[in-house]
Amino acid sequence: CILYGYGSYGHSIDPEFSKYIPSLLDRGYIYCIAHIRGGGENGYKWYKEGKKLNKLNTFKDYIECAEYLIKNGITSSERLVATGASAGGLLVGAVINMRPELFNVAVMGVPFVNVLSEMCDDSIPLTTEEYEEWGNPHKKEYFEYMSKYCPYKNINFKNRYPNIYIYSNINDSLVNYKVPYYYYIKIKEADVFKKGERKIYLNIKQKYGHGGSSN
């Protein structure tokens, strides 16, 4: 079972055809979309309840969706895949720190996994306009709040993390490839990976940008 999530910028995940999903369904997968706070599916209030000092709601909602699937016998934690890209990669990174045992696999695409460090560097293009989404970490309350969920900062080497697959692109101007690279370098030192109990992979394409290749 694949549980896809995003939950940022008020973006709504509309029901639409995807050429990728039928292949999964043909192989017996269940594909689920978590409409979590921070997204726009239930209006502007839904968005505001998952941004800035409410951002933890995004992760809690996603966890609750995963728990629902397990509780109702739709899947089990041994068969559940967490996946998201960009801000959705931040979502997955935060969630597997909070509840690593819920998932068997985590897939993070072009993931914004070091939100604290990136947001503190206002020389990076787009950072200052991102204050509207995450808050300004130069203000103490926002810095401390980001510190609670930043995936890179909250890596726990004793966590039983799921198997992890991370992908990025060398010319990504929104989430520099070094962000997932340094995250990978750190998290692969977790006991579960060092002992070979779980697997972790990083794939950085030597071209393309944030959206990957064309069709």
Q: 86 an active-site residue?
A: yes
Beta strands in the chain (DSSP E): 2-5, 31-34, 81-85, 105-109, 163-169, 200-205
- Burial zone of 22 (CB within 10 Å; 0-12 exposed, 13-18 middle, 19+ buried): exposed
Contact predicate 39/6, CB 8 Å: yes
Verify whether residue 18 is a known catalytic residue.
no
Coil, strand or helix: which one is 3? Answer: strand
Token pair for 175: 């989430």
Q: Please list, residue by residue across 68-94, b when 16 or more beta carbons sit within 10 angstroms of its beta carbon and e when fewer do.
A: ebbeeeebebebbbbbbbbbbbbbbbb
Q: Is 172 a catalytic residue?
A: yes
Active-site option among 18, 210, 213, 214: 210
Residue pair 37/7 in contact (Cβ under 8 Å)? The answer is yes
Say how many C-beta atoms besides its own lie within 10 A of residue 19's C-beta: 7
Q: Which of 8, 61, 168, 172 is catalytic?
A: 172
Catalytic one of 8, 61, 86, 168: 86
Cα dihedral 67, 70, 73, 79, rounded to 10, equals 150
Catalytic positions: 86, 172, 210
